[in-house]
């Protein structure tokens, strides 16, 4: 069975990390399948939101230390299999960051190391009460290699990010909520229901407008204000000519729910 499961329902795609016997620890196959599945969903015009979760009782335990300790898989000390040049353009953290489709993480348990970075790379995080984020990198002799050093300071500020990363601290769901690392905490049994409800609320809006908004939020991280406003205006022009814009205006005037096509 695939190490990443894909299920589509309506306009929602649910990706499930599927190594529950290893707490969804990362393997090479999982990395490749996750990246390609994310790209597939982003290219599918019928998909308006992507939910990422884990099978079993954990979200993702990070690097598979069992494989690494036996010189297999990611993190092996056998340098003979290491490429001379690392091309990370198609790696999951880069792919996840570049997606236009909104992403939600249903954090169903522990997320350590790479799993923590993967969760933080999503646009929105809903956490089960039992969920935890473990910045265990420095406790394993590595650094946050999958976007954490870029993401965490932007989410919580430099000082708090430094404390979390330097200490390798594990944060409970409530601590994550206090820090703003998750949007909300819900009972374990309500996690997927709450996450899918939010995904449906997002998916009900005009998909091109939502995706343009995400692109501009991402661009704003590195643009000056005046440049950004010009960039936003260029994104707005094709939206004015879209069917969805006309449908949104008509639905407002007719006091009905809009039916967007993504065109």
Q: What is the pTM of this model?
A: 0.90
The predicted structure's pLDDT at residue 63? 82
Q: Give the other-Cβ count within 10 Å of 95's Cβ.
A: 19
pLDDT (tens place) for every residue of the chain, 263 residues total? 799 999 999 999 999 999 999 999 999 899 999 999 999 999 999 999 999 999 999 999 998 866 554 545 555 455 554 455 556 678 888 999 999 999 999 999 999 999 999 999 999 999 999 999 999 988 888 888 889 999 999 999 999 999 999 999 999 999 999 999 999 999 999 999 999 999 999 999 999 999 999 999 999 999 999 999 999 999 999 999 999 999 999 999 999 999 998 99
The helix (run of H) or strand (run of E) holding residue 42 is helix 28-43
- Predicted local distance difference test score (pLDDT) of residue 231: 95
Cβ within 8 Å of residue 252, ≥6 positions away? 258
DSSP 3-state assignment of 104?
strand
Q: Where are the alpha helices (DSSP H) in 99-256?
A: 114-121, 148-156, 158-167, 173-179, 191-203, 207-220, 225-240, 243-253
Q: Check: CATH 1.10.12 for 207-253?
A: yes
Q: Are residues 49 and 11 in contact, defined by beta-carbon separation less than 8 angstroms? A: yes
Structure-token match 């092996």, residue found = 76
Mapped to the 3 state alphabet, what secondary structure does 59-80 carry?
Answer: EECCECHHHHHCCCCCCCCCHH
The single residue listed with the structure tokens 């350590």 is 112
**pLDDT for res 65:** 64
Residue boundaries of the structural domains of the chain = 4-203, 207-253
Instruction: Reply yes or no on domain 4-203 having CATH 3.90.226.10.
Output: yes
Task: Using only the alpha carbons of the chain, give its radius of gyration.
Answer: 19
Are the C-beta atoms of 120 and 151 separated by less than 8 Å?
yes
List, in sequence order, every residue forming a beta bridge with 17; answer none if it has no partner.
4, 54
Neighbours of 86 (CB within 10 A): 8
Cα distance between residue 64 and residue 75, in whole Å: 8
DSSP class of 190: G
CA distance 81 to 73: 10
**Nearest-10 crossing angle of helices 207-220, 243-253:** 110
Q: Are 93 and 114 in contact (CB under 8 A)?
A: no
Confidence at residue 252, expressed as pLDDT on a 0 to 100 scale? 95
């Amino acid at each position: 069975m695939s190490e990443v499961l894909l299920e589509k329902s309506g306009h929602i795609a649910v990706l499930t990390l599927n190594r529950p016997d290893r707490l969804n620890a990362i393997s090479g196959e999982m990395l490749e399948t996750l990246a390609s599945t994310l790209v597939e969903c982003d290219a599918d015009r019928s998909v308006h939101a992507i939910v990422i979760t884990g099978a079993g009782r954990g979200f993702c335990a990070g690097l598979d230390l069992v494989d690494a300790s036996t010189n297999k898989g990611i993190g092996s000390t056998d340098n003979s299999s290491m490429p001379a040049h690392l091309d990370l353009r198609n790696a999951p953290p880069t792919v996840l960051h570049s997606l236009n489709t909104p992403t939600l993480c249903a954090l169903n348990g522990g997320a350590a190391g790479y799993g923590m970075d993967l969760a933080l790379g999503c646009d929105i995080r809903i956490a089960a009460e039992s969920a935890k984020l473990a910045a265990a990198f420095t406790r394993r002799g590595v650094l946050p290699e999958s976007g954490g050093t870029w993401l965490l300071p932007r989410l919580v500020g430099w000082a708090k990010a430094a404390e979390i990363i330097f200490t390798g601290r594990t944060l409970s769901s409530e601590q994550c909520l206090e820090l703003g690392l998750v949007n909300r905490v819900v009972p374990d049994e309500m996690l997927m229901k709450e996450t899918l409800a939010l995904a449906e609320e997002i998916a009900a809006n005009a998909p091109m407008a939502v995706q343009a908004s995400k692109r501009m939020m991402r661009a704003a991280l590195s643009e000056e204000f005046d440049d950004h406003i010009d960039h936003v205006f260029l994104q707005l022009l094709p939206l004015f000519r879209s069917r969805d814009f006309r449908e949104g205006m008509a639905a407002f005037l007719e006091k009905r729910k809009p039916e967007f096509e993504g065109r």
